[in-house]
Amino acid sequence: MTEVHLKRLIRLTVLIGILNIPFWSAYILIVDYIIGLIWIDFFLKKKAIEGIEVIRKIFPSRVFINEGFLLQCQVVNKSNSKVELEFISALDVPGISRKATVLNMSPDERKELNLKGFFYTRGVKKIGDSYMSIFGPLSIYRINRSFRFQDELVVFPFFEESRFSKEVLRDILPGNKTQYKMLEDTASLRNVREYSSEPLNRVHWKLSARYDRLMCKEFDRTAQGSVKLFVDLNMPQGILVNETWRQMRAYYEDQAVDAAGSILRDLKGRSTPVHLTVVGKDIWSESHPRKEFVSYLETLTRATGKEESDQSIIDVLGESLARINQNDTVVLVSMHLTDNELPLILRLRAKCSKVIILLMPYGFRPSRYRPSRSYSMPHPEAVKLLEKSEILIENKVIVRFMLENDALQEALELVP
């Protein structure tokens, strides 16, 4: 789209036209000649800028937060005129200067600009338009042209290093035999960790002597579980929305995506079947075999919630009841639950092996940060829910309420 700014030139032309009547002279004639040349220069440059083409590419098209990408712009002068212009590749990309680059271009000349940028937040980012300007003598006129692009950059969120391993193992893997509860292969050692409350025959005595503390063995599994992961990004229903709740929900959304991604990465790394459902402005559903993780990651990155949405976690959970069986472990990540969800959660528990609920209205503490002093308390609605959680506990529904000083892995380790 081309835009022209001729206010100064038109005013000057009108002024000189008025002066022609009472002050006609050779000097006025020279000024008229100069004004005519400026108008000719304007039309030539307008034609030249319309003959300029911009080609833009992004490498790579998928990055993580704070990871750099390359914005490559090629400016091609397809006109027959030599032009001097100012070019801005993008205005809304952190790390890329908004200062215009001056380009002197001959006919059929091609110039390439390589700029590095990055983003601080996750999501699908629009790079925006590129802009170009040509100025007349003494900036008496200006011609702007914008180049619209539909290219986008997907910025993946940061994921915590976490280990889930809380799913119920029911489906026996073919080809593996063991006499240890039909769940672990004692001939295949997977990991060694610090001892907590395991039987003494699990202690690795040699490593315990070396590290001067008890270490226990973890073996490969001969069975696998199936996980149904639900992530609710919307504002809880029945809450009066104000600016504080809006900020809390926006922060929770990023943290909930991080938590879900961390759990998913660990599960898919072990080829665990996972069906992901994200409830936000829309409903996103993904289920992929084996170790496929990128498709889940893309869904989590694109998903967004809102304060008032037509999509309800109650409706989604109710529709999912028919697809849940006794071998499934249901994991729900939510900002808050109300009394309306409790009967549905009990019905879920009756149909599956385990229900794990992670409530994180204030998010969680990244593992790279140390705990700090905090005065946050569960909000009144959450306190009511915790008081009623005895009903859930009696029915073996696991609820973990997280404050901002709680790390994700710490909360997961408390899940039996």
Q: Answer whether residue 181 shows pLDDT above 70.
A: no
Bridge partners of residue 283, in order along the sequence? 279
Q: What pLDDT does 178 receive?
A: 41
| pLDDT band (50, 70, 90) for residue 222 | low
Q: How far is CA 287 from CA 166, 320, 334, in A?
A: 19, 14, 20
Rounded Cα distance, 168 and 264, in Å: 15
pLDDT tops 80 at residue 177: no
Stretch 236-246: mean pLDDT: 69
- Read off the DSSP letter of residue 202: G
Give the least confident one: 177-186, 189-198, 271-280.
Answer: 177-186
Q: Label the pairing between strands 101-105 and 62-64.
A: unpaired
CA distance 352 to 45: 71
What phi and psi, each to the nearest 5 degrees, are found at residue 318? Answer: -65, -40
Instruction: Return the number of other C-beta atoms located less than 10 Å from residue 7's C-beta.
Output: 11
Closest CA to 172 of 225, 245, 132: 225
What is the distance between the alpha carbons of residues 394 and 208, in angstroms, rounded to a whole number? 38
User: Tokens 């002279």 label which residue?
Assistant: 25
In terms of average pLDDT, the best of 17-31, 114-128, 211-225 is 114-128
Reported as a single tens digit per residue, the pLDDT across 135-169 is 998 889 999 999 998 888 999 988 888 888 888 77
Taking residues 121-145, what's their average pLDDT?
A: 90
Q: Collapse the DSSP code of 190 into the 3-class scheme (helix H, G, I; strand E, B; otherwise coil) and give the result.
A: strand
- Report the residue count for the chain: 416
- Averaged pLDDT for residues 49-54: 91
Full set of structural domains in the chain with CATH: 2-156 (2.60.40.10), 181-221 (no CATH), 225-413 (3.40.50.410)
- The share of the chain scoring above pLDDT 90, in percent, equals 22
User: Is 80 exceeded by the pLDDT of residue 240?
Assistant: no
pLDDT at 42 > cutoff 90 = yes
pLDDT at 328: 87
Q: What is the DSSP letter of 326?
A: T
Give the count of beta carbons closer than 10 Å to the beta carbon of residue 38.
16
Answer whether residue 238 shows pLDDT above 70.
no
| C-beta atoms surrounding 6 within 10 Å | 16
Band of pLDDT at residue 376, cut at 50, 70 and 90: low
Q: Is the pLDDT of residue 368 over 60?
A: yes
Average pLDDT, the chain: 83
Per-residue pLDDT tens over the stretch 60-75: 989 998 899 999 999 9
Handedness of CA 392, 393, 398, 401 (dihedral sign): positive
Stretch among 174-188, 269-283, 351-365 having the lowest mean pLDDT: 174-188
The band of 180, judged by pLDDT with boundaries at 50, 70 and 90, is very low
Region 186-204: what's the mean pLDDT? 74
| 217 confidence band (pLDDT: 50, 70, 90) | confident
CA distance to 161, 246, 247, 342, 396, per residue, from 361 (Å): 21, 11, 11, 18, 23
pLDDT of residue 41: 92
Contact (CB, 8 A) for 415 and 166: yes
Task: Say if residue 372's pLDDT is above 80.
Answer: no
Alpha carbon distance 398, 404 (integer Å):
19
Q: How are the residues of the chain apportioned to helix, strand and coil, as percentages rounded to the nearest 5?
A: 30, 30, 40
Q: How many angstroms separate the CA atoms of 76 and 80, rounded?
A: 12
Least confident of 169-173, 296-300, 333-337: 169-173
**pLDDT at residue 268 tops 80:** yes
Contact 162, 408 (CB under 8 A): yes
